[in-house]
Structure 1
Amino acid sequence: MNGAVVEVTAKSSAFLPVQESCIYRVKHVAEAGIFPGFHGKFIIIGQSEADDSLVLSLRPIQYQLAWERCRQLQAEDVVVKGKITGGNEGGVLVIVERLHGFIPFSQILSKSSVKELLGKELPLKFLEVDEEQSRLVLSNCMAVTGSQAQFGIGSVVTGTVQRLKPYGALVDVGGVTGLLHISQISHNLVPDVSTVLQPGDILKVMILSHDSQNGRVSLSTKKLEPTPGDMIHNPKLVFEKADEMGQVFQQRIAQAEEMTRADMLRVQR
């Protein structure tokens, strides 16, 4: 039988079945982090009819810890990632912190179908954490809306390149996928995105625009180049100088707005 023999005392041992080694399904106890020398607390759930040895479980302990973790994350208003595993008429099913949760369609920013969402990870915040009712309800809208508070035009944020497309790079910024169009990578011509960026690259990008209703964000590294072509020849410098270049851009915008207001006042007089 698949599982692990656990030494309870110097003279007795017990058995941990594979299905009791983890709160999610695994084929071998090693997938749950159970290796020779593992030490921890177990729950006694029964006794073997074959040899009267004790049968142990880790699942109740893991469930308790997972619910405590979710309550803590809800109290701290933290954004978490959850993977979509299924759906029904009311919403989608998600795995978060090893627990099964539910996201109502009204709390999903994307208008994608359940089929399109399957297997994807979404940024989420907790709406309800009720261990007694085994009820875990989450919101994608709250997570995205909260993260977009930083998305002022001209603001500089850190993002991670997710995927490359012929027309640019999709970059995760605060749980939202933004588009860094190929024309906004550098002042110099970029014929192929992959010559400058790769999935997993960490960038500092400027927010050009964002559609909070649809969760669309347009990005630029071009405007953060100290000199044209730096994203191609010296991307490290662009990262280091990004905040400084962002402040310069913001100052220029403020000066332009001030000049526009002054011109309007002169016309009104």
Structure 2
Amino acid sequence: MVYKRKTEEERQKEVEVLSSILEEGVMNATMNPERFKALLEMAAIFPKYSFRNVALIHNQMPKATYVASFKKFRELGRNVIKGQKSIRILAPRIANVKNDETGEEERKIIGFLSVPVFDFSQTEGKPLPLEKYKLKLDGNSNESENIIEAVKFIAEQDECHFSMSYVPGTTCGYYSPVEHRIVVSDSLSGNHKAKTAVHELVHSKVHRKNNETKEEQESVAEGAAFIVCSYFGLDTSSYSFEYIRVWSKETESILKYCEQIHEIASTLISEFETYFEMNESLEINLAIA
């Protein structure tokens, strides 16, 4: 059966309905109590960093979540995976300095040193709280296979390399602005791979410069992924609503990004439809030949 593209009016109406479902779903989402507890435990385990170091971390690894030193991870029973590149942050250099007025020595910051740290996803070993309550989408479907193929094609048109491979830690996938490539974990279910692929595709198209806050980046990418996947028959609400709620500082935060999500989703849907139409035409021509 040849794919039939909907009219612009039909597409916009459906996207508006899905946007409303997204808004209501996120604002009414309730987090699994055990997962919420795990998030609090993770926050307590890992060190807090200054605003400057947080910026340095996310410039080097946009998907970083829980960061600590090699020594700290060893204390937690985890080892840095061989070959992982460290993230560099600044640590104060402290020395004894003589006070000119009192003549006594005082410990003062005399500069900063670049020190290596690693993200949770770069380590392996003893399970930590969040790994026990990881959000996930189960199942495989024809819809997910079609969505993944469309993402591959659209990414390639933008000269963005797409692959599925091993991704350490709890990360489902990532987009690397430096390498301009998307990687999706090959351990996920088909449905989860498709959702993650669209999520990272949004990052590749919209968040290359990383000028937005993490809340905005993640909310927009996941919101657009929900709408695109739902439009093509894959419901990701059981994952997307809670995911966005976790990243939202306030319950109504999703409302700030609605217009942006709507616009991005509409554009992507049009690109997906172009791919599906082209793919159907190619199959028909091959059959005739």
Q: Above 0.5 in TM-score? A: no
Larger relative contact order (CA 8 Å, sep ≥ 6): 2
TM-score (norm 1): 0.30
Q: Judging by fraction of residues, say which structure has more strand.
A: 1
